[in-house]
Structure 1
Amino acid sequence: MTDLLLIGGYALLAGGVVGAGGALALRLLRGRSILVHILLLLAVTVLAVVAGVVTVAYAMFLSGHDLGVVLVTVGASAVVSLLVGGLFGHRLAAAAVWARAARDRERRIEAGRRELVAWVSHDLRTPLAGLRAMAEALEDGVVGDPATAAEYHRRIRVEADRMAQLVDDLFELSRINAGALRLAPTAVPLRDLVSDALAGVAPLAASRRITLDAPETGWPVVRASERELARVISNLLINSVRYTPADGTVRVEAGRDHSDVWLAVSDTCGGIPEPDLARVFDVAFRGERSRTPDPAHTGGGLGLAIVRGLVEAHGGRVGVRNAGGGCRFEVRLPAAVTER
């Protein structure tokens, strides 16, 4: 019994020394990944066993041969333990990274939702207040002049159109975020879609003395859902026209690179501040300074978020950069087989 207690004491002392060193190492490496911590714990365990075996072997005066056999056995077990622990630690680390990314994404989505609610509440409250005031004025007979009454009716219609557009944007964005968007890809000639979009935005551009420019030829064919792609082009054009100062220019062009079709909308808005470039496609982002739109045309800040959602639903990508005294929005989508 005395010998067993003595052997246990030696083993405990040796293991304690190794364990203290392991605890210090863990403290120094506390900022490292889970995989590093697991491997370190396994290594400390193996070293504690080896230290205890060696200490007890010397205390019991074991032969070098017997000590070598024991150490080889412990070493083989250590290799297996480290391999299994490394595999488990790698999976655990990957799961931790995924969970952290999921939490970050959830926080960003929640922050975006709060920001969206704030923006939409503001954008609905303002026109509603104006509509109520004008309706009460007409109802109470405060406005008797026919010209003024006609102007009130026109402004009521304009505000109603703005609210309808905002609701439509919210519905489209909810379809995208909920995964309820159903695309019907076909071979779509970009020339036709761009021509229709330019015709739709021409009155707004004319009222702001903005020149719309597009080449006559060289338009490729893209594989996309026609309705959704038309909305992408229209939103990009409207965005550029709204943010471009009077007497500016908005240009649309397209081409094909390998298996991709690209479409670019360039303007002379003065550029986007570098810190804001990464946020341009975020929900409810409107920008500041040179990117502040005309208050008469302020929307819900959803147009570019819808663009990104629709483009990504097609398996494409969209980006923006400052170029030539303005901004260049570029969309890339899979090309169709034929061209026109």
Structure 2
Amino acid sequence: MRLADFILRDMETIVVQWEAFAGTLLPAAANMKSLALRDHAQQILQAVAKDLSTAQSREAQAEKSMGRAPVLIGAPETAAQTHALLRARGGFDINQLAAEYRALRASVLRLWMDECQPEAPDPDDVIRFNEAIDQALAESVGYFSAQVDQARNLLLGMLGHDMRSPLQTILMTAQYLAALNAGEQVSVAASRLIRSGARMQALLNDMLDFNRTRLGLGVNIAPTDTDLEKLLSDELDLLRAAHPDRRVDLDVAGDCRGVWDGRRLQQLLENLVLNAIKYGAPDAPVRVVMTGEARDVRFEVRNHGPAIERMTLARIFDPLQRGLNQEGSYNADGNLGLGLYIAREIAKAHGGEIEARSDEAETVFAVRLPRRQ
């Protein structure tokens, strides 16, 4: 008997075994009824049987074996995708989801081979069946991962939003204590609270920006008429005060006015300059070179130091990445490894771009910003 015919004929027997195995996947399956445990098993098997009965080329067969079957534009979710979505919402983990397909593969092949006795099963059916199961598994894992990522990002976004109010209360109370002049001990403690609170606020803002981009919302900007020369000059003054042992130069040429979100561009510059200070040679200046052109304003942050490896440079704007410091160890200074990622997202939100290049002479981060989006 061909495998497609067997699956359609013995569907209930196969689904009963699926249900029995799904019921062992605890704790998620503990209180699930039969219908929920069987979720989309019949539709998945029907799709597999249809696939087995459909002619396909060698190339299509190879693609499907790697989970890359073509997807029609505008096509609805497959049964495997919907199954993954419901399993994710039901509390299953990704290992349990994969285990369902592993058990399904084994039970179908075992039942069918018993049915085929004493004749040998068709080897082409075995190959085609494995490819179809692999494709369904790939669809399920992809949807499951996307659902988990979205749920995590929404949770972190809500958590970050709800943390802002108590953090603001802490900062306001610390500032009130500092203004009381109630003695040196109180003033020192209040200053420490203010510094730590400001640091926590920066981390929180980075986390919220990161979550917005992961949810496809992008970084919030509010563009207004801005003089970028004055804006970046003010920001560099603050950075020089915070790092008095480091020299930071600014060179400006041309008209640097445009329509941008000034606060966000100061954040972008701060991230790039702090990165240059952290990883650049301590005895060499950090240079910011800004040029106003006809349609764009460009600025570069340059520092001397060891060249960044090509593989590292290719991923330098990826989130949650940290580089090596001058001593050759990874920095663990309380940051989330989001500075360069957020800098890139701010440039993108303005319709601009940012790129990095590095050689033995210097490392350069170059930003291009259109005057108007």
Q: Please give the TM-score of this superposition, normalised by the length of structure 1.
A: 0.52
AA aligned opposite 1:274: R
In structure 2, relative to structure 1, the CA distance for the partners of 1:324 and 1:31 (3 Å cut) is: same
Distance 1:292 1:235 in 2: 20
Structure 1 position 307, deviation (Å): 0.9
8 A contact 2:322–2:331 mirrored in 1: no
Residue number in structure 2 paired with 1:197: 235
Look up the SS of the partner of 1:320 in the other structure.
Answer: strand
- 1:268 equivalenced with 2:304 (yes/no): yes
Structure 1 position 153, deviation (Å): 7.0
Alignment partner of 2:206 out of 159, 165, 169:
169
Distance 1:158 1:264 in 2: 29
Alignment partner of 2:350 out of 311, 314, 319:
314
In structure 2, relative to structure 1, the CA distance for the partners of 1:255 and 1:302 (3 Å cut) is: same
CA RMSD of aligned residues (A): 4.3
Distance 2:348 2:206 in 1: 17
AA aligned opposite 1:202: R
Structure 1 position 305, deviation (Å): 1.5
Distance 1:258 1:324 in 2: 32
8 A contact 1:232–1:307 mirrored in 2: yes
Structure 1 position 176, deviation (Å): 4.0
Query: May I ask how many residue pairs the two structures share in their alignment?
Result: 221
- 1:242 equivalenced with 2:242 (yes/no): no
Distance 1:148 1:218 in 2: 50
Structure 1 position 163, deviation (Å): 2.2
Structure 1 position 332, deviation (Å): 1.1
Following superposition of structure 1 onto structure 2, how do residues 22-33 of structure 1 map, counting pairs within 5 Å?
26-27=57-58, 30-31=61-62
Q: Please give the TM-score of this superposition, normalised by the length of structure 2.
A: 0.48
8 A contact 2:252–2:290 mirrored in 1: no
Distance 1:247 1:298 in 2: 24
Distance 2:330 2:240 in 1: 17
Structure 1 residues without counterparts, runs of 5 or longer: 1-22, 36-95, 118-145
Look up the SS of the partner of 2:337 in the other structure.
Answer: coil
Distance 1:279 1:181 in 2: 20
Structure 1 position 151, deviation (Å): 7.3
AA aligned opposite 1:287: G
Larger proportion of helix:
1
Query: CA offsets, 1:224-265, max 9 Å, x none?
Result: 222222211122112212222422211101224553321111
Following superposition of structure 1 onto structure 2, how do residues 146-295 of structure 1 map, counting pairs within 5 Å?
158-178=195-215, 179=217, 181-206=219-244, 209-218=245-254, 220-256=256-292, 259-288=295-324, 290=326
Structure 1 position 152, deviation (Å): 7.2
Query: CA offsets, 1:199-219, max 9 Å, x none?
Result: 11112332xx32111125435
8 A contact 2:249–2:286 mirrored in 1: yes
AA aligned opposite 1:167: L
Higher Cα Rg, which structure: 1
Overall identity of the aligned pairs, in %: 27
